[in-house]
Amino acid sequence: MPYEPPTHTVERSLRATTGAKIIAGVDEVGRGAWAGPVTVCAAVTGLRRPPLGLTDSKLLTVKRRTELDEILRTWVTSYALGHASPEEIDERGMTAALRLAAVRALGALPVRPDAVILDGKHDYLGTPWRVRTVIKGDQSCVAVAAASVIAKVHRDKMMAELGIDHADFAFADNAGYPSPVHKAALAERGPTPYHRLSWAYLDALPQWRHLKKARSWAEEKVPEIEGQLGFDF
């Protein structure tokens, strides 16, 4: 399906209205998974013409995404990755975990950005960062699209490595998301050390329900991020 290539429109607007010179695009992957970390990439691209075919990682085939990732890692001005572990997701909730991963990624850049373009409508980053949220920014903004591809490829590789000792879960194929194979293995074997144990899927597994962790952060009324899918038998 044809799609419009991303542009530097938002970045140019930020430069003109705020005086920002270094602008990072930020995107995440893994928020809807049942296992593995949530991963955030921060990418700084400047205003150069992007590689051909760059767009939201979800719109790309695995082959093309992998090819673009190799190009992007040397094409971008700089990039960094941050992660929040399943344990941190359970302890803090997804919104706080996303912020933790994003702060880690931004803090690992060689130069602190003056502004951040954040994919989506919800600013989970907040102060002291100067943030512009853009719905579908991973399709429309060059830096966010680059971050999307790098984050996705990196996390997929990470999940494949984590799945080596848990072959029945097929993490190399589903990246920790609730595929039929993943669900069947979970029902039979229970969660791995990489599963998020505060999530609702455990409610549908009576034999493993005792492993569910209470949400100590629930009373803080932290806004939930979409993606906690049902077990759906």
Binding residues for a divalent metal cation, by number, are 27-28, 119
Type of residue numbered 119: D
SS3 assignment, position 130: coil
Residue type, 56: D
Which residues carry a binding-site annotation? 27-28, 119
Alpha-carbon distance values, 101 to 26, 108, 165, 210 (Å): 11, 11, 25, 28
Q: Measured between alpha carbons, how far is 58 from 152 in angstroms, rounded to an integer?
A: 8
Residue 34 is given by DSSP the state S
220-to-85, 96, 124 alpha-carbon distances in Å: 20, 11, 15
